[in-house]
């Protein structure tokens, strides 16, 4: 990239700029008034529902009580880092941090490769009816809410009426029902498996699109040279998906605390969490919600929220710049 | 395609088809099981061994569901919020997008900056709650349909859609003296039906599935949504509390579990109905979404 040697000053076409309105700003604005009104309605909406909550972050540093209303965010007295100190000293804190990280990492590690594999497998299917059927079935769960998924989980795994326990018991493979839904030790597996079940098919679409972009001549040439199916997958299909894989991985890491590509961590923690498995199922987000809304400690909860969004923001920004560097410099 | 089948081809195909068959089964069977359980007598399901077909066929679970005021209310509220909420967000989002799509809009850089920041940064749910409380939306029907009116993801998609519409139509209407609101409603929206349909399907299924706002922003029992009621029952089933099961069994052979699966079928049913249409549109939408990051 080289800069142009001569700097040209572009003059906007305007007729007779007035002294009070040198750029013709107000005249232009008035000319587009209907459009401006449409947009300003939207901006007003954002100010109320996005930007006012942003100022709510101040609560984390203030002696705020809910009875003070919105203006209390600004008028309440400062307490500095008191809530952050309280949070770090909270006996739950190490567990919460560990659970949050464990859930995020496990979901990334297990749920990311599956759509890649499924896309490769679907690509190997020559009968388009079979391919379409499996693909359509696989992304169906994406459109079902997490509530229904948790309902399905109880239908399959609950200790007294679950299908899986019922089947295993009648085959005499187990003596007493598996407590999948209430045992803290099985919470992470439950979250990971349900995430894979729900979101795999959806992300397969992206990887299939990447495969569709591969030049079919490559396959023909490889077949001519005697490369078998597995060799063609390894040397053509997977390298052809490389940039899609990298980009999606960066996006997933950027949003890892939210749940990456594998559904919301918060919803999973709330819906699969219960008093019996809370040692493992409580994460920072769900704890902030409980403390804030159930116990009414709004300022403290905001502090927890803030720590978690700060980490998330740093992750997202670094993932974004990694994505830019990656797509900017190119692969080849 | 690549000549005759080799042994490797046969093995790869065999393994591949077997695995794909298992994946399809594992994805679809849970839905099927929930469906047959909803048509089976609750007391009978509790005995176990129900795998393939309803054993004691009955409609009593559905009769129970549609007679229980708690479930009817939830169903009504959810249907209403889906219709009203979807209409509001489709209209409002496309109106704002139409304004932003004007090429030489004054201050457009500032507007886009505000949108992009709002897209990526949030004050957290607690601060959001405080704002909802401050403007009096808590515990009202409005909390379901007003904060969702502007969808920033679809705002971006709608802007690029409107930019591609040829401007001749709107231009000639303008010469005839039509106002911008008229042009938007009578000219721009009618030629944007594919966009509006996609938005309606996605935002509509989001409204229908929503439970979080009902759980945290509403206390009035008559305002609870279907997904929220389902969550309540699922929670009880999850920890194995049978407190309500006894009172259920006295009538119709219905159990807590059989009502739960019935509610699940009823809540999945509309999604299944629009699924073929959703499918047609979502690939493109998802591509845009992932590029946006």
What is the reported pLDDT for A316?
A: 77
Neighbours of B22 (CB within 10 A): 10
Report d(CA A317, CA A331) in Å as an integer.
21
What is the reported pLDDT for B283?
A: 59
The residue of chain B with its CA nearest to that of A204 is B283
Which DSSP category does A58 fall into?
A: G
The pLDDT of B14-25, averaged and rounded, is 95
In chain A, residues with a C-beta closer than 8 Å to the C-beta of B118 are 46, 50-51
Q: Does B103 touch chain A (CB under 8 A)?
A: no
- Per DSSP, which regions of chain B are E strands? none
Q: Say whether pLDDT at B22 is over 90.
A: yes
The pLDDT of B126-155, averaged and rounded, is 93
What pLDDT, in 10s, does the model give residues A126-151?
A: 888 999 899 989 988 988 999 999 99
For A135, the token pair is: 């693909």
Confidence (pTM): 0.85
The pLDDT of B245-263, averaged and rounded, is 75
The residue of chain A with its CA nearest to that of B133 is A69
In chain B, residues with a C-beta closer than 8 Å to the C-beta of A167 are 51
What is the reported pLDDT for B289?
A: 45
Q: What percentage of chain B carries pLDDT values higher than 90?
A: 49
CATH number of B39-292: 1.10.3720.10
Between residues 146 and 165 of chain B, which touch chain A (CB distance below 8 Å)?
Answer: 147, 149-150, 155
What pLDDT, in 10s, does the model give residues B67-101?
A: 889 999 999 999 999 999 999 999 999 999 999 99
Report d(CA A127, CA A130) in Å as an integer.
6
Domain ranges of chain B: 39-292
What is the reported pLDDT for B74?
A: 94
Q: Say whether pLDDT at B191 is over 70.
A: yes
The C-alpha R_g of chain B, in whole angstroms, comes to: 25
Residues spanned by CATH 1.10.3720.10 within chain A?
89-329
Low-confidence ranges of chain A (pLDDT < 50): 1-15, 329-332
Residues A25, A28, A31, A37, CA torsion sign: negative
What is the reported pLDDT for A16?
A: 52
Between residues 212 and 231 of chain B, which touch chain A (CB distance below 8 Å)?
Answer: 212, 216, 227, 230-231
CATH T-level fold of A89-329: MetI-like fold (1.10.3720)
Neighbours of A15 (CB within 10 A): 6
Q: B165 pLDDT band (50/70/90 cuts)? A: confident
Count, residues in chain B: 293
What is the reported pLDDT for B242?
A: 55
Report d(CA A307, CA A90) in Å as an integer.
14
What is the reported pLDDT for B274?
A: 84
3-state helix, strand, coil in chain B (%, to 5): 75, 0, 25
Pair B262, B110: CB distance under 8 Å: no
Chain centroid to CA A186: 23
Complex ipTM > 0.95 = no
What is the reported pLDDT for A51?
A: 93
Cβ <8 Å between A274 and B235: yes
For A283, the token pair is: 């994460």
């Amino acid at each position: 990239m080289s800069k142009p040697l001569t700097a040209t000053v572009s003059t906007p076409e305007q007729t007779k700029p007035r002294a009070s309105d040198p750029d013709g700003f107000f005249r232009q604005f008035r000319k587009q008034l209907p459009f401006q009104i449409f947009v300003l309605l939207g901006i007003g909406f954002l100010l109320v529902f996005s930007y006012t909550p942003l100022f709510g972050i101040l609560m984390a540093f203030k002696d705020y009580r809910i009875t003070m209303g919105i203006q209390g965010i600004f008028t309440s007295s400062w307490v500095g880092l008191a809530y952050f100190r309280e949070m770090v000293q909270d006996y739950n804190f190490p567990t919460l941090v560990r659970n949050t990280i464990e859930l995020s990492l496990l979901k990334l590690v297990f749920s990311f490769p599956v759509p890649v594999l499924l896309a490769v497998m679907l690509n190997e299917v020559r009968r388009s009816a079979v391919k379409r059927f499996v693909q359509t079935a696989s992304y169906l769960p994406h459109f079902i809410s997490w509530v229904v998924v948790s309902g399905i989980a109880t239908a399959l795994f609950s200790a007294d009426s679950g299908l899986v326990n019922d089947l295993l018991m009648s085959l005499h493979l187990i003596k007493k029902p598996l407590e999948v839904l209430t045992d803290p030790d099985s919470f992470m597996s439950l979250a990971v498996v349900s995430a894979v079940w729900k979101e795999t098919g959806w992300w397969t679409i992206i990887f299939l699109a990447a495969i569709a972009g591969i030049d079919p001549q490559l396959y023909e040439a490889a077949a001519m040279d005697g490369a078998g199916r597995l060799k063609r997958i390894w040397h053509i299909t997977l390298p052809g998906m490389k940039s899609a894989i990298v980009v999606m991985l960066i996006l997933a890491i950027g949003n890892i605390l939210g749940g990456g590509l594998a559904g919301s961590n918060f919803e999973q923690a709330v819906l699969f969490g219960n008093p019996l498995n809370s040692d493992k199922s409580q994460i920072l987000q769900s704890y902030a919600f409980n403390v804030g809304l159930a116990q009414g400690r709004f300022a403290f909860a905001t502090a927890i929220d803030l720590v978690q969004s700060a980490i998330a923001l740093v992750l997202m920004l670094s993932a974004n710049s990694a994505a830019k560097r990656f797509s900017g410099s190119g692969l080849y | 395609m690549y000549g005759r089948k080799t042994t490797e081809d046969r093995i790869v195909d065999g393994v591949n088809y077997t695995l794909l068959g298992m994946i399809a089964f594992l994805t679809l069977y849970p839905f099927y099981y929930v469906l047959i359980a909803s048509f089976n007598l609750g007391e009978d399901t509790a005995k176990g061994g129900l795998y393939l077909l309803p054993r004691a066929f009955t409609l009593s679970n559905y009769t129970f569901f549609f007679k229980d005021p708690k479930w009817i209310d939830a169903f009504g509220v959810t249907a209403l919020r889906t219709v009203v909420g979807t209409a509001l967000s489709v209209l409002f989002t496309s109106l704002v997008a139409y304004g932003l799509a004007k090429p030489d809009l004054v201050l457009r850089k500032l507007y886009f900056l505000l949108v992009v920041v709002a897209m990526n940064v949030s004050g957290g749910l607690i601060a959001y709650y405080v704002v909802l409380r401050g403007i009096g939306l808590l515990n009202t029907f409005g909390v379901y349909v007003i904060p969702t009116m502007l969808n920033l993801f679809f705002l971006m998609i709608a802007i690029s859609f409107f930019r591609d519409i040829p401007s001749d139509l709107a231009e000639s209407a303008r010469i005839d003296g039509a106002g911008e609101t008229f042009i938007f409603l009578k000219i721009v929206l009618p030629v944007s039906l594919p966009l509006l349909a996609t938005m309606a399907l996605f935002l509509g299924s989001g409204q229908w599935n929503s439970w979080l706002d009902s759980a945290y922003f509403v206390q009035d029992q008559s305002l609870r949504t279907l997904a929220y009621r389902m969550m309540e029952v699922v929670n009880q089933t999850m920890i194995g509390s049978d407190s309500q099961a006894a009172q259920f069994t006295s009538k119709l052979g219905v159990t807590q579990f059989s009502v739960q699966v019935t509610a699940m079928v009823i809540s999945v049913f509309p999604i299944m109905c629009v699924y073929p249409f959703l499918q047609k549109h979502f690939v493109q939408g998802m591509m845009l979404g992932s590029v946006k990051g």
